[in-house]
Amino acid sequence: MKYLVIKCGGSVLENLPRSFYEDIVKMHTSSEWTPIIVHGGGPLITSLLKSLNVETKFVNGLRVTDHQVLDVVEMVLSGSVNKQVVRNLAEVGGNAVGISGVDGGLLKAAPTADAKTLGFVGEVVEVNHSIIQGIINQGFIPVISPVGIDAGGQRYNINGDIAASAIAKALEANLCFISDIPGILVDNNGVKTKLDKVSKTIIEQMIQEQTIYGGMIPKVKAAIDGLVHNIPEVGIINGFEKNSLLDYSNGKCVGTKIVLEEEIA
């Protein structure tokens, strides 16, 4: 059985077409690939925090999270967004189970090295992948909210890209980030062109030059970390392009493939 972890960011999720969910269901019923969805929910979190007059700040693409922000993060991610994805799949004939990283200690977390700045933002130290495999074995598509927990019961807000990479590592799965752009774009004399393939060194250089910035930083860092820890393949594709997910899973040249140096040609 081959696993494909599909990471959908919150800004993308709000507008993904019905055909995207249909492609996931087709993939699930084909038996060749088993989809696992990890989602974000950033814009909805920001909107709710604003309505509650709670300030929100970001450092290198990660949301600074205190107790009040953490409550809102869990409410939005594990409640509203998670169940919306499950419903979207149900509408096109899919059977999905929504679960949080807190449930069963699915995502065991610890504070980041920047805890003094970021607060309750966590990194994944262990994935209880037997929970995911149990859901799959029952015939369901897992839909995972990236809120983690430590041994003492403290919750952590985990960046969805980082959570997706950790889950892919645990399952030795391919990893695919769903975007609203064709892949990683570079500016050539005022014209944006897509990189079909890009290496770890080039990505680090692009971050240094601020060609890659904001929310794309944790995405590409998670991709690199996954490759270093033996994720077979990482891609960034446009979820709004018809059949892009199926084309990607069938090995066609779609989006940007992120590789280690020795694989670039």
pLDDT of residue 84: 97
Closest CA to 171 of 228, 224, 225, 229: 229
> In this predicted model, what pLDDT tens digit does every residue of 59-78 receive, in sequence order?
887 899 999 999 999 999 99
CATH number of the domain residue 39 falls in: 3.40.1160.10
The answer to whether residue 48 is domain-embedded is: yes
Residue 18, annotated ligand binder? no
212 Rama sector, left if φ>0, alpha if ψ -120 to 50, beta otherwise? beta
Residue 228 falls within a domain, yes or no? no
* Beta-carbon contacts of residue 253 (< 8 Å; ≥ 6 apart): 196
Residue 209: pLDDT band (50, 70, 90) is: confident
Q: pLDDT band at 227, cuts 50/70/90?
A: confident
Burial class (CB in 10 A: 0-12, 13-18, 19+), 197: middle
* Number of domains the chain is built from: 1
Residue 32 lies in a domain: yes
* Within-domain flag for 152: yes
pLDDT attached to residue 259: 84
In a domain, 146, yes or no: yes
The stretch 84-110 carries a mean pLDDT of 98
Sign of CA dihedral 90, 96, 99, 101: negative
Q: Would you say 199 and 27 are in contact if contact means Cβ atoms under 8 Å apart?
A: no
**H/E element, 135:** helix 129-137
Q: Is 41 annotated as a binding residue?
A: yes
* Burial class of residue 84 (count of CB atoms within 10 Å of its CB; 0-12, 13-18, 19+): middle
The pLDDT, as a whole number, for residue 213 is 74
Return d(Cα 115, Cα 94) in angstroms, integer: 39
Would you call 55 exposed, middle or buried from its count of C-beta atoms within 10 A (0-12, 13-18, 19+)?
A: exposed
Q: Is residue 114 part of a domain?
A: yes
How far from chain centre, in Å, is Cα 75? 18
Assigned domain for 262 exists: no
Structural domain boundaries, residue 42: 2-182+239-255
Give yes or no for residue 263 having a pLDDT over 70.
no
User: Considering the domain boundaries, does residue 50 fall inside one?
Assistant: yes
Grade residue 117 by pLDDT with cuts at 50, 70 and 90.
Answer: very high
Amino acid at 223: A
More confident residue, 33 or 264: 33
42 marked as part of a ligand binding site = yes
Q: Which residue did the predictor score with more confidence, 203 or 214? A: 203
Is a pLDDT exceeding 60 seen at residue 198? yes
What are the phi and psi torsion angles at 149 (to 5°)?
A: -145, 150
Report helix angle 216-228 to 160-171, nearest 10.
Answer: 20
3-state secondary structure of 234: strand
> What residue has token string 């679960």?
99
pLDDT digits (tens, 9 = 90+) for 20-57: 999 999 999 987 899 999 999 999 999 999 999 998 89
